[in-house]
Structure 1
C-alpha cells in the first residue's frame, strides 16, 4: 500500500514540472520577442535607408553636425538682464560650419558676430538660462542669428565650451 500512495505523488509532481517548463518557455519566448521588437538595435540596412532618403531629397549627407569645420569664438562676458543687474554670464563658444569658405566668411564678419551675440546674451535673464531646455534653445538662437549674418545655412551647430552664470 505504501507503493500505491507514492505513484500518484510522482504523477502530480511530474505535472507540476511540465507546467513549470511550459511557463518558462512561454516567458522566454515573450521576453525574446520583446527584446527583438523594442530593445535590439536595428539592422544596418534599416539604418542606412534614411540616409538614402536624405540624399534623394537633395540634402547633403556631408553636412551633418560633427562633419564640418570648427571655429572658436572669443569668450563672451556680459551682464544679464536681471532687475538688480548683479548677475553676469561668461560663455565660450565653438561654431561648426559647413566649409572652409564659411570659416573665412565667419572670420571676416567677426565684429558683426560679436555684436550680435553680445546683444543676444545680454538680453537674457538668469531664469532664461537656468534650465537645460533654455540652454538648448539659446544654442538654436545663436545658430539662427549666425546663419542670418552669413546668409544661408552655413552654421551647423554651436558648442558651449565654457559657461559660468554668477
Structure 2
C-alpha cells in the first residue's frame, strides 16, 4: 500500500475501552439484579416464625425450707420457686401434681451442701437440676415436659 492510501489514524490502535466499560457495567448490573431477585425470593419463601405465646407463671407455695446436708453444722436453705410455661393446659396438670413436684424438689434441695451453693454457677446448676425433676414428672404424666423454665425468686442459705 502506498503512503497516500493510509489514513492518518491507521497507526493508532482503535480505542475500544468505552465499549468494554459499558459491557462491564451492564454485566455488573445484571448480576446485582439477579442476586437481588434470587435472595429476595428466598426470603419470601422462608417460613415465618410465630411469636411465642405469653409466659404463664406458677408459684410453688409455700416457700421451700430444708436442712442442707452439711455434716459439721446445721445449715438451712429457703427458696421460693416459680415455674414458667407457655401452654395454658399445663397449669391444671401442675396443680394436680404439686405434691409430687414439691416432694422431688424437697429431696433435691436437701441433698445440697452449703459450700456447693455459694456461686452463681452453683445456683444455676441447682436450677437446671430442679427443672429436670419437674419436667420428668410432667413428661411421665402428660408425655411432654410442659414447663419451659424454673426460677428461684428468693434464695437464702444460712
Over 3 Å counting, the alpha-carbon distance change for 1:135 and 1:69 in structure 2 is same
What does residue range 10-159 of structure 1 map to in structure 2 within 5 Å?
A: 55=49, 62=52, 67-74=54-61, 75-151=63-139, 152-159=144-151
Structure 1: unaligned runs, 5 residues or longer: 1-48
- 8 Å Cα contact 1:79-1:85 kept in structure 2: no
Taking the aligned partners of 1:146 and 1:88, their CA distance within structure 2 comes to 22
Deviation at 1:68, TM superposition (A): 2.1
1:161 to 131, 146, 153: 153
Over 3 Å counting, the alpha-carbon distance change for 1:82 and 1:54 in structure 2 is farther
Aligned length: 109
Q: 4+ runs of 1 displaced by more than 6 Å?
A: none
Structure 2: unaligned runs, 5 residues or longer: 1-42
Structure index of larger Rg: 2
What is the TM-score normalised by the length of structure 2? 0.63
Taking the aligned partners of 2:58 and 2:48, their CA distance within structure 1 comes to 26
- 8 Å Cα contact 1:69-1:97 kept in structure 2: yes
Over 3 Å counting, the alpha-carbon distance change for 1:85 and 1:155 in structure 2 is farther
Over 3 Å counting, the alpha-carbon distance change for 1:53 and 1:92 in structure 2 is farther
Over 3 Å counting, the alpha-carbon distance change for 1:53 and 1:118 in structure 2 is farther
Q: Aligned to 1:162, what secondary structure does the other structure show?
A: strand
- 8 Å Cα contact 1:96-1:158 kept in structure 2: yes
Structure 1 or 2: larger helix share? 1
